[in-house]
Amino acid sequence: MATTQLLPGTLLPWFEHHGRHDLPWQHPRTPYRVWLSEVMLQQTQVATVIPYFLRFLERFPDLAALAAAPADALMAHWAGLGYYARARNLQAAARACVQHHDGQLPRDLQALMALPGIGRSTAAAILSQAWGDRHAILDGNVKRVLTRVFGIEGHPGVPAVERALWQLAEQQLQAVPDGRMTDWTQAQMDFGATLCTRARPACALCPLQQQCIALRDGRVAELPTRKAGKTLPEREAHALLADDGQGRYALLRRPERGIWAGLWTLPQADTHAGLAQWTLTGLGADLEQADTLTTISHTFSHYRLQLHVYRLRCSSRQRIGETAAGWFDRIQLAALGLPAPIRKLIDSL
């Protein structure tokens, strides 16, 4: 690859004038804050992450506090960000650091990748931003930029295509001046997030337009190559909003695996009959006495859920026939991790 084709010489000056320099995890830029932001930004936009990051950091200011946090407190501060395995992996990694790395994130690519929830690109982003170490990243933004600028065919998730993209990403490092790795890492992410976007990229403002193969060939909308589409299956389930008329609600903790794992939510069953059976055995009540409240539509990564919700007034003196269950008022709810659509439903009542 010729030096003229390398991107840092163009993107670094662009970043100085148009990049994001005031994100909360940049001041101060510590390994813990960088790691937390990188995990939160997976599958989630910056504007959404910022308030969660600030609240999370106030409650868990350092790695030791995160490692020692009760599960309910952790999930309560993550609820609404989605992809809840990220939160569980964060805490598992924090505990591993306390146990094996003197309570610090290790400054080593392989050691970081050995921690739960940290892949190659996330580990590289931590090292390059927190310490200025020379490592290439390959997140979704970088993949999109490289496939367009260099005209790379094929879905980036295909191993052969991903290997080619990693090679391109590594080659860019030779043009990054000493002391500019933090800026180079952020420049790539900012450029992909603000100009070379997935939809309606601002090609007229792009500093790379003279060397972008996708723009030259009129293929910007085609690259990166999309994964073969498939229709998400639809599933139905039934849930019970049981309240005692005094602001207390019956909740169960979900299992540690599956959807909404580890969160507190409404009693739920795949069928109306299944929910009726739980209502009888769990509350000693009759689901036929319940009112139809609403249907919640929620999309997970692999299916769409239509959750039919019924409302039933019961006495909170009734002990729920489950171990991980209880009656909770609104003050207590604030300290629990609830799925965003369930919290929104309760708040609307």
CA–CA gap between residue 131 and residue 169 (Å, rounded): 19
Q: Which two tokens stand for residue 104?
A: 């610090």
Residue with tokens 């309240």: 243
Query: Is-catalytic flag, 38?
Result: yes
DSSP 311: E
Q: Single out the catalytic residue among 38, 153, 256, 322.
A: 38
Question: How many beta carbons lie within 10 A of that of residue 233, not counting itself?
Answer: 8
> How wide is the angle at C-alpha 161 spanned by C-alphas 158 and 164, nearest 5°?
150
**Tokens at residue 41, please?**
């930004």
The residues near 36 (Cβ < 8 Å, ≥ 6 apart) are: 25, 53, 56, 57, 90
Supply angle C-alpha 333, 339, 345, rounded to 5: 70
Distance, in Å, from the CA atom of 333 to the CA atom of 338, rounded to the nearest integer, reads 8
Task: Report the run of H or E that residue 235 belongs to, with start and end.
Answer: strand 234-243
Question: Which residues are known to be catalytic?
Answer: 38
